[in-house]
Chains A and B, each alone.
Chain A
């Protein structure tokens, strides 16, 4: 699905990531951890082609990102659901339209409304469907971002600190949603520095933990 082959990324003269290799298999559940500023967000952006590796290769569904045009990459991104830490939305559109945005831009304007309603209900936002993004709480925004990320039924879900702005109870709800998606066959990669969340997840799902340290990607041991 997503392959990183001896990949490196440099920015502003400094190397952020070096010699990174990873193959995300279908149905896998991974956590990506590391100290703040280690490059977790950069790593995720490289995984969905928002950044281009300065060395090595990143392949999405078998195709090298460097060989893809911008439009090809955009189409490829529809197979990857991304949940950002800062949950970017179109503030002038109500929540239900924001969640349906991937369908809209892919030309599926005549999607089944009942599926959308079900999805909004699944993330517990039925009562907020017509609210504008600035009116939502942090937890509501995170759940809405997750709903938007999965509405196209992507093969991979990349989540960057999805529980960063929410309380423990809400983070558990979001984690449960992601585990449910993984059980439906989706590949999940969550970048987080929240070790308690990782421990909670490991009791429910077989998850591998990756750590970025000193520009390298390592597999974390059982000490987590």
Chain B
């Protein structure tokens, strides 16, 4: 059977077959609620996965393209060493631009620790030079050697020391998001299996009657499978929509807003959560079918 016909056969209500299983409010509500809750969580796990992916790319790109040179020298030599460093940088291949931060910019960097209005003259603060790379970038080892020779107070920080752990952290977070999605899928399968098994056990008498009149296992299982699949689909739609609305209501992504403000979907990524309800229905279909066939085998 093609996937399209398979989906159609599930969605098409076989009213006669569906009616042979008595309506049970208890399992309906449980399955609906479980599917909705799992879909809601899945939307957040997916959003986390997407956000961490973006974060890894951004950190990787932005930090890989910039470096900092710190000049620590006596006040009398500071300007001379800064100019020497800028000269070295201007003749280094792979460097697009280099500029010394102004006093105001350095004060801004220190503001979170010392407050506004701190006088740099009162503190032994090194001069910072911002370096922006181009093309394949520069050779950090060569630049270090040149700076060591020509600017004794200069230290090159190419961000590699802390860029790698950050990217590793972002990738780990992304893996965590993916793992969460898998766990949510597994939990949903387990819950649907439990609900389906309970429903089958509660309907042992119905199964006996159906067998007496010549119903095959596939027919009996089908009545339960269709019911649970459609419930999971309905719960999935509700949970996914609720999750998407909740993500929409989160504060907008701003550079100064920290990590959570960036949690969400961007552009085409908003389509991804829509996959959750049909995926949940597929999980429910296989979980219920396996539970039903297993139970029916034991009821000979």
Mark B184-228 against chain A: 1 for CB-CB distance below 8 A, else 0.
000000000000000000000110111111111111000000000
Query: Which of A19-27, A98-106, A174-182, A206-214 lies at the binding interface?
Result: A98-106
> How distant is the Cα of A97 from the Cα of B211 in the complex, in angstroms?
16
B214 and A77 within 8 A (CB): yes
A167 within 8 A of B: no
A105 and B20 within 8 A (CB): yes
B142 within 8 A of A: no
Contacts of B205 in A (CB 8 A): 88
Mark A92-117 against chain B: 1 for CB-CB distance below 8 A, else 0.
11000100011011100100000000
B217 and A70 within 8 A (CB): yes
A90 and B214 within 8 A (CB): no
The B1-41 residues at the A interface (CB cut-off 8 A) are 14, 16-17, 19-20, 22-23
Contacts of A77 in B (CB 8 A): 211-214
CB proximity of B282 to chain A, nearest CB, Å: 24
> How distant is the Cα of A90 from the Cα of B16 in the complex, in angstroms?
13
Contacts of B296 in A (CB 8 A): 70
> How distant is the Cα of A172 from the Cα of B7 in the complex, in angstroms?
52
Known: A88-B208, A89-B209. A106 touches B16 (CB 8 A): no
B16 and A70 within 8 A (CB): no
Residue ID in chain B nearest A51 by CB atoms: B300
CB proximity of B275 to chain A, nearest CB, Å: 34
Contacts of B218 in A (CB 8 A): 71
A92 and B23 within 8 A (CB): yes
A16 within 8 A of B: no
A97 and B19 within 8 A (CB): yes
B215 and A74 within 8 A (CB): yes
Contacts of A71 in B (CB 8 A): 216-218
Contacts of B14 in A (CB 8 A): 109
Known: A89-B209, A90-B209. A106 touches B214 (CB 8 A): yes
> How distant is the Cα of A61 from the Cα of B252 in the complex, in angstroms?
73
B216 and A90 within 8 A (CB): no
Contacts of B297 in A (CB 8 A): 70
A105 and B219 within 8 A (CB): yes
B206 and A90 within 8 A (CB): yes
CB proximity of B297 to chain A, nearest CB, Å: 8
Contacts of B300 in A (CB 8 A): 70
Residue ID in chain A nearest B209 by CB atoms: A88
> How distant is the Cα of A90 from the Cα of B206 in the complex, in angstroms?
6
CB proximity of B231 to chain A, nearest CB, Å: 18
A141 within 8 A of B: no
> How distant is the Cα of A93 from the Cα of B213 in the complex, in angstroms?
15
B219 and A90 within 8 A (CB): no
Mark A68-84 against chain B: 1 for CB-CB distance below 8 A, else 0.
00110011011000101
> How distant is the Cα of A74 from the Cα of B297 in the complex, in angstroms?
13
Mark A28-54 against chain B: 1 for CB-CB distance below 8 A, else 0.
000000000000000000000010000
B20 and A93 within 8 A (CB): yes
CB proximity of A162 to chain B, nearest CB, Å: 15
Known: A88-B208, A89-B209, A90-B209. A74 touches B216 (CB 8 A): yes
Contacts of B216 in A (CB 8 A): 70-71, 74-75, 105
B214 and A74 within 8 A (CB): yes
> How distant is the Cα of A148 from the Cα of B16 in the complex, in angstroms?
16
Indicate which residue in A88, A91, A92, A105 contacts B215 across the interface (CB closer than 8 Å). Answer: A105
The B150-175 residues at the A interface (CB cut-off 8 A) are none
Contacts of A84 in B (CB 8 A): 212
> How distant is the Cα of A185 from the Cα of B20 in the complex, in angstroms?
31
Residue ID in chain A nearest B205 by CB atoms: A88
Contacts of A152 in B (CB 8 A): 214
> Looking at B209, B212, B297, B300, which has the most chain A CB atoms within 10 Å of its CB?
B212
Residue ID in chain B nearest A52 by CB atoms: B300
Contacts of B20 in A (CB 8 A): 90, 93, 101, 104-105
> How distant is the Cα of A89 from the Cα of B20 in the complex, in angstroms?
11
Known: A74-B216, A75-B214. A90 touches B22 (CB 8 A): yes
Residue ID in chain B nearest A148 by CB atoms: B213
Q: B interface vs A, CB < 8 Å?
A: 14, 16-17, 19-20, 22-23, 205-206, 208-219, 296-297, 300
Q: List 22 A-B contacts (CB under 8 A).
A: A50-B211, A50-B212, A70-B217, A70-B296, A70-B300, A71-B217, A74-B211, A74-B215, A75-B214, A77-B212, A77-B213, A82-B212, A88-B205, A90-B22, A90-B206, A92-B23, A101-B210, A102-B214, A104-B17, A104-B20, A105-B215, A106-B214
Closest 8 CB pairs of A and B: A105-B215, A78-B214, A92-B22, A71-B216, A102-B213, A77-B214, A74-B216, A109-B16
Q: A97-B19, A105-B213 are in contact. List 6 more A-B contacts (CB 8 A).
A: A50-B212, A70-B217, A84-B212, A90-B206, A91-B22, A104-B17
